[in-house]
Structure 1
Amino acid sequence: MRWARAIHHLEALAQECAVMATRPASIFPVRVVELWAVGDVLGPLRDIDAVTVALAVDLPVEEVPWLGQPRGAQQWANATRLDRNPIVGLWRSVHAPVWNHRVERPALVWDAENGVAEKTLAALHDGAGERVRLPAPGAEEWRARLTEELAVSVRALRDCTAAYEQRRWSPGKLEPVADALWRASEGYLDVLDALHGPPEPT
């Protein structure tokens, strides 16, 4: 995907965030309040495979574990065409720092209070994302952040395992519960490996 097209997708999503913020919470209960640019789109001008973003929602941290999808996320994604475009969305809680080992030094593109961050988009358009990224955390701050992230992931994994066990032999589709368990497992292992290193091959 060409750079200009990637920035177009990011700008369009920022506008969709603004529109969705005006929609009734009774229809769209998940409330995205911040949009952050992540990864390749923060680098120099070049072709990239996809635009990665962090979507910060107004939900408790425990309801948005790493790589999880909060309730209503799919409905929001469908309404904004998020899943139909070359965009990778990472769901985060606005009540904790947005960054972690994968969301490295993101740049704020839109928030519900101030709207679109035009300076950020202008910098990204020029391939100068370094100017608008968050500062890098220190080693102690990084470890503390991931320790908190891991604790949330552990709770999510336990909750999703219990939900799967409860629904395993019940009537109805098991896929949503199984998918949630998979996401919780993947998120837990990803944070665990980042914090302690991947296990040695046998």
Structure 2
Amino acid sequence: MKWTRAVHHLAELAEKCGDLPASFFRFQVVELWAFGELLDVPRDVEVIEVALVTDLPVDEVPWLSEPAGAEHWANSTRLSRNPISAVWRSSEAPVWNHRIERPALIWSAADGIHEEALVAVSDGTGELVRTAAPTPEELRRRLEDELAVSLRALRRANQDYTDRRWSPGKLTPYSDALWRTTTGYLDLLDALG
């Protein structure tokens, strides 16, 4: 997609983050961060990469998983209909990791849309609003913390799937959760290896 269209989608998502009623979902999105190609120089991009930070505890938002209600939130904000790849994060831990490198804060519940960041992204000067890079030791500690959260989540997802494996009803929500949690765990394990 064209750079201007990508920036338009990002700005539209930031507006939607601020427009949703606080009591409508099981969780609240409290920050929207951009990362990846959109923080580079203007050019056509395949997908807009964002991190959505929720008010949920860390254990409810392991790496590459979706909190309960995320699909409904994505439909309400049109996130699911746009070329946006979102990862979910907890406000109780840093947003960055090995994949979310030097993100830029676009919107927060506390301050609304960060106009300076949106202008920088639009102008192709996203580098000016990105966070500082962690040291190798900080990154390693972050990945170790995320791996521990991910392992706990993997055990829970596996048990949920096992408990419902032969029960009546749809198994898809449990198998999808197990798949996402497994993918996140293996990604973190590879990053640490």
TM-score computed with the length of structure 2 as normaliser = 0.99
3-state SS, counterpart of residue 74 of structure 2: helix
Contact 1:35–1:108 (Cα < 8 Å) also in 2: yes
8 Å CA contact 1:41–1:52 kept in 2: the answer is yes
C-alpha deviations, 1:100-140, integer Å up to 9, x for none? 00011000000000000000001000111110000000011
Which 4+ stretches in 1 moved above 4 angstroms?
A: none
- How much identity, in percent, do the aligned residues show? 58
Q: Give the structure 2 partner of residue 85 of structure 1.
A: 82
Q: Which runs of 5+ in 2 are unaligned?
A: none
State the partner residue of 1:166.
Answer: 163
1:180 maps onto 2:145 in alignment: no
CA drift at 1:16: 0.2
Question: Offset at 1:24?
Answer: 4.1
User: Is 1:38 aligned to residue 35 of structure 2?
Assistant: yes
Contact 1:30 1:76 in 2 (8 A): no
Matches of 1:13 and 1:133, distance apart in 2: 19
Distance 2:22 2:30 in 1: 14
The equivalences for 1:48-67 within 5 A come to: 48-67=45-64
Counterparts of residues 1-202 of structure 1 (less than 5 Å):
1-20=1-20, 23-25=21-23, 27-196=24-193
The code of the aligned residue for 2:162 comes to: E
**Pairwise CA RMSD of aligned residues?**
0.6
8 Å CA contact 1:3, 1:46 repeated in 2: yes
Q: Residue 95 of structure 2 aligns to which amino acid in structure 1?
A: V
Q: What SS is found at the alignment partner of 1:35?
A: strand
